[in-house]
Amino acid sequence: MDIDTKFLDPVVTTVLSVFKTMLQEEPDMHGAEIKQDEVARGIVTGFMTLESEKAMGSMAITFSKAVVADMAKKMLNADLQEIDEVAKDLTGEMANIIVGGAKNIFENEGYNFSMSLPEVFTGKDHKIEHRFHGETILVPLTVGAGDFFLEINFNEQ
């Protein structure tokens, strides 16, 4: 299966850079696949949309409890026991940082996207509803604390 990586690559590049600089982690990427459902693979998701005259899309980053707890410890010196407001805020902020970084790369490629504010969804098997009609690409990643997942869904106008 061929996956068009034109919109995926800037997001993945940004995720890898953010984890390396902010968390001193180098995530391992485990390929990319077309996602067949709307079920989140983790417990907390940051979701944002990007819109321009040339394309529209959305990005979600979903963390396992172990990964968001590790991020909270490293970034905030917080001992996270549950998915609370700290976990939600951190997840939304990570989504914002990643989408902002990818937006800069997209601008160099001629896409002038406007970004939404992050939305955060939580709970086992919560749904991630991409609002555009493209295929959703799922990218599983792993860091020392566990797994997290990147989803993108873009549609050119």
CATH of 8-156, picked from 1.25.40.10, 1.10.3720.10, 3.40.1550.10, 1.10.150.20, is: 3.40.1550.10
Any residues with CB less than 8 A from the CB of 61 and at least 6 apart, and which?
A: 15, 45, 46, 91, 94, 95, 98, 148, 149, 150, 151
CA neighbor of 84 nearest in space, from 41, 124, 48, 122: 122
Residue extents of the structural domains in the chain: 8-156
Specify the pLDDT at position 1: 44
Per-residue pLDDT of the chain (157 residues; tens, 9 = 90+): 456 788 899 999 999 999 999 999 999 998 899 999 999 999 999 999 999 999 999 999 999 999 999 999 999 999 999 999 999 999 999 999 999 999 999 999 899 999 999 999 999 999 999 988 889 999 999 999 999 999 999 988 7
User: Residue 93 and residue 26: Cα distance in Å, rounded?
Assistant: 19
Q: Which is it for the CA torsion 38, 42, 48, 49, positive or negative?
A: negative
Residue 137: C-alpha distances to residues 28, 86, 122 (Å) = 17, 28, 20
